[in-house]
Structure 1
Amino acid sequence: MSHELEEQEAIGRRIKRRRLALGMPQADLGAAIGKTQGWVSKVEGGRIELDRTGLINAIASALHCHPNDLIGRPYTGTVEENQWQTSASSILRELRRYDLTPVFDGTPRPSADLWQETVRLYRLRDAAANTAIIRSLPDLFREARTLAEVSAGREREEAFAVYAVLCKFAHTAGHALGHAELIAMSCERAVWSAQLSGDPLMPSVANWMRVWDMWATADWEDAVTLSDRALEVVQDAYDRGDPLALRVWGSGQLRAAVSAARAGRMEETEDRIRHAREAGARLDAYTGPQPFDRYSLNFSSGNVQIHAISVALEMHDQTTAIRLERRSEPGQIDGLPNSRRGHHHMDMARAWMWDGNREKALAQLRKAEGLAPQLIRNHPIARATLRQIVYAERESTREQLRGMSNRFHLDDQELFR
């Protein structure tokens, strides 16, 4: 048996199984994603790592399936670790019956109290505690929908705004845990409830969520177009310097930057990052009263910094990523929540691995796991990076031992085959 890890072979087998089910030759799959037939053969045999999200999504799109079908998500764990899926089913039930009379015992709390519940979810999300978010959501969905049913005027609109933000939390956790149906349905309901919320920025946030979903099918051009539509909605408020609009507009530019990077449009990617950086600077300079961050977008100059590094890696440019990391302001990145910092260190692990520095790659991956263990252990890029480190260490050790064996005049060279 070859030295490749079983999971990577499984990913290759999934790609091969799907390709054969479609009657698609390896050369056709390669042509669809700009690769050779030999490259596809190596992927299917577990000899090449899929260490870029955009690449995984492009393969899935060419095979007409969801990326989760290829990487085996949601991952199965212990009985206790799998309990979140029961709550996810309850959320899906609530989302399916969105326009029916809600079933809720008692009197729903006012919207101000429900907004405070989103603050708690915000903290859980920043800690990458996605299963805890999923477990909290079913009752909150029922309560918010009930409040919308029994209220009128502004309170009814606020109930729908809360419902939309709950959809956003379900959407984010669904992505982290790999639940495709929850991702799709929570996004659809966010769009619906945003229109009923009376909040002028909420539809833009809902479209920001849709952009993420378009990445799954490698629809990079549509993702950029939708980002621009979301940006149009908030442009006037952004120009006025509204702090919430600054967050929404900056976040939209970052989504557009990732989409452009995956489309291979370097100039546009840099332009989008520049716009986001300007929004971050304006937000840093804002001295007025700080409004409640009801959208929980977590946009900041530090977030722009880590996105600039991330999009460089999307274009397979680790040199730029490492240079940007060295020039970044540590205080801004250190001020980010654990989930964002964990993702950033995972990116830097990949950058150092591509640059040939396994020691630094492993150190960055350890930092990432320490900050956001659930997120990193389940992330396909982190897992691919760790496999690359393992493979490289094995090969390095193998070559060192081969040299020693030659010096010791050992005859049993079968050890190295």
Structure 2
Amino acid sequence: MPYEREEQEAIGRRIKRRRLTLGMPQADLGAAIDKSQGWVSKVEKGHIELDRAALINSIAAALHCHPNDLIDRPYVGTAPDNQWQLAAASILRELRRYDLTPAFEGTPRSADALWQEMTRLHRLRDAAANVAILRSLPDLLREASALAEAATGHEREEAFGIYAVCCKFAHTAAHALGHPELVAMACERAAWASRSSGDPVLPAVADWMRMWDMWATADWADAVTLADKALTGIDPEYERGDALAVRAWGSLQLRAAVSAARAGNAAEAGHRLGLARQASDRMGGPGGEPVRDRHSLTFSAGNVTVHAISVALEMSDQGEALRLNEQTRPDEIAALPNSRQGHHRMDLARAWLWDGDRHKALGELRKAEKLAPQLVRNHPIARATLRQIVYAERASTREELRGMSSRFHLESAGRTRD
């Protein structure tokens, strides 16, 4: 079996095993995800590549399991590649003991000093260095907890804000590396800490995180509802033009746009993209006064553009995605962090592949890997896209060789010798 088919067929076997465990016929699974029984059969045999996150999540939801159970994440690498799981376990220990006396010796640094420490995590996030992020977080969580217990007033609120943003970093890295337990607990603790932070925008950021988690269970409508709840909570700050509220408001609209697209609601997705563009316009141009993004949200005109391309792909319209890409300003994309650019290049790889240009698809995938290697090599959609490219190239080569063999009469010569 060609190696590029092994992972694809293994996913099919896991789907079949889970379906049979539930006593669910193929036709019932197909009906739950709006597909035919024959389509499910082909997936289970590894004949169809699942290259859409929404589709994988919908199948997992119908089978009452986590998507990672079907695609077997986290992927097993070499021993050094797996060291991040030790850091993840250490973070989980800290998050479980959130309401106990902090295990921290000495005097914690001030909130200002800890916020300065967080700027390094912002740089690591922008570079998609998720393993390095996880390794940094246990000590920071302990120190933030110690400061929250020792301090009073605004300093205590700031300590809770730092704890919540640490949880957000853990949440992002755990999603990228495939650790669902850490994803869920980081989201819960971020919501808990944000309520004591004194930051009126931070609870909305926690809801933004929770929307991402709802995607794992294909709860697209609930994700949009949650976005509206969070948006209502920060509307006063948004109307006043508070810079951090504008960033959060726009980010929530983008996440709502993707949720609506995955639900098949193109009109709602387009409406949300339009609202996000309004928020982007309110932020001003590159010459505006810089804002310290303490919430670690990536929001800009370029981010709205790449989300519009993602939405087009969610609606299976690669032509629109490529058209939007042609109109994209290169400087807006270049201003995005590597992590966001990596996602964008993965989207373009899928668009070109679906459009029939494997060469351009592979080129975009190479750019994505160069920008954010940890992210791309661990991303199920990037892996699925690469498998399709490799298998199609091999199939094309086999067909060319078959034609040449026929023209050279190699097949008949072989039969004669037998």
Task: Please indicate the TM-score interval, normalised by the length of the shorter structure.
Answer: over 0.9
Check conservation: 1:68, 1:74, Cα contact below 8 A: yes
CA distance 1:318–1:155, shift in 2 (3 Å): same
Check conservation: 1:345, 1:365, Cα contact below 8 A: yes
Q: How does 1:37-52 map to 2 (within 5 A)?
A: 37-52=37-52
Q: How does 1:7-406 map to 2 (within 5 A)?
A: 7-285=7-285, 289-406=289-406
Of residues 406-415 and 106-115 in structure 1, the stretch that sits farther from structure 2 once superposed is: 406-415
CA distance 1:198–1:323, shift in 2 (3 Å): same
Deviation at 1:284, TM superposition (A): 2.3
> 1:280 is aligned with what amino acid?
S
Deviation at 1:291, TM superposition (A): 3.4
Check conservation: 2:148, 2:159, Cα contact below 8 A: yes
Deviations along 1:315-364, one digit per CA (max 9) or x if unpaired, are: 11101000000011111001111111111011100000000000100100
Q: Distance in 2 between matches of 1:190 and 1:94?
A: 13
Q: Distance in 1 between matches of 2:331 and 2:289?
A: 23
What is the DSSP-based 3-state SS (H/G/I as helix, E as strand, rest coil) of the residue aligned with 2:155?
helix
Q: Distance in 2 between matches of 1:82 and 1:159?
A: 31
Check conservation: 1:243, 1:290, Cα contact below 8 A: no
Where in structure 2 are there 5+ consecutive unaligned residues? none
Deviations along 1:165-216, one digit per CA (max 9) or x if unpaired, are: 0000000000000000000000000000000101000110000000000000
Q: Distance in 1 between matches of 2:218 and 2:93?
A: 29
Where in structure 1 are there 5+ consecutive unaligned residues? none
Deviations along 1:291-317, one digit per CA (max 9) or x if unpaired, are: 321101021000111000011111111
Check conservation: 2:4, 2:390, Cα contact below 8 A: no
Deviations along 1:26-49, one digit per CA (max 9) or x if unpaired, are: 111111000011111111111101
CA distance 1:50–1:414, shift in 2 (3 Å): farther
What is the DSSP-based 3-state SS (H/G/I as helix, E as strand, rest coil) of the residue aligned with 2:226?
helix
Q: Distance in 2 between matches of 1:37 and 1:180?
A: 30
> 1:349 is aligned with what amino acid?
A
Q: 4+ residue runs of structure 1 moved beyond 6 angstroms? A: none
Q: Distance in 1 between matches of 2:32 and 2:2?
A: 29
Give the structure-2-normalised TM-score: 0.97
> 1:373 is aligned with what amino acid?
P
- What is the percent sequence identity of the aligned residues? 70
What is the DSSP-based 3-state SS (H/G/I as helix, E as strand, rest coil) of the residue aligned with 1:399?
helix
> 2:96 is aligned with what amino acid?
R
Q: Size of the alignment, in residue pairs?
A: 415
Q: Distance in 2 between matches of 1:74 and 1:306?
A: 26
Deviation at 1:286, TM superposition (A): 8.7
Deviations along 1:235-290, one digit per CA (max 9) or x if unpaired, are: 12111211111100000000100100000000000010111111111112497643
Q: Distance in 2 between matches of 1:61 and 1:134?
A: 28
> 1:223 is aligned with what amino acid?
A
Check conservation: 1:111, 1:158, Cα contact below 8 A: yes
> 1:25 is aligned with what amino acid?
P
Check conservation: 1:243, 1:286, Cα contact below 8 A: no
How big is the alpha-carbon RMSD for the aligned residues of Structure 1 and Structure 2?
A: 1.5
CA distance 1:283–1:65, shift in 2 (3 Å): same
Check conservation: 1:318, 1:352, Cα contact below 8 A: yes
Q: Distance in 1 between matches of 2:317 and 2:368?
A: 21
CA distance 1:414–1:124, shift in 2 (3 Å): farther
Deviations along 1:349-400, one digit per CA (max 9) or x if unpaired, are: 0000000000100100000011011100110000000011011111211221
Deviation at 1:414, TM superposition (A): 9.8
What is the DSSP-based 3-state SS (H/G/I as helix, E as strand, rest coil) of the residue aligned with 2:105?
coil
Q: Distance in 1 between matches of 2:278 and 2:323?
A: 20
> 2:222 is aligned with what amino acid?
D
CA distance 1:107–1:46, shift in 2 (3 Å): same
Check conservation: 1:157, 1:197, Cα contact below 8 A: yes
Of residues 229-238 and 149-158 in structure 1, the stretch that sits farther from structure 2 once superposed is: 229-238
What is the DSSP-based 3-state SS (H/G/I as helix, E as strand, rest coil) of the residue aligned with 1:196?
coil
Deviation at 1:407, TM superposition (A): 1.2
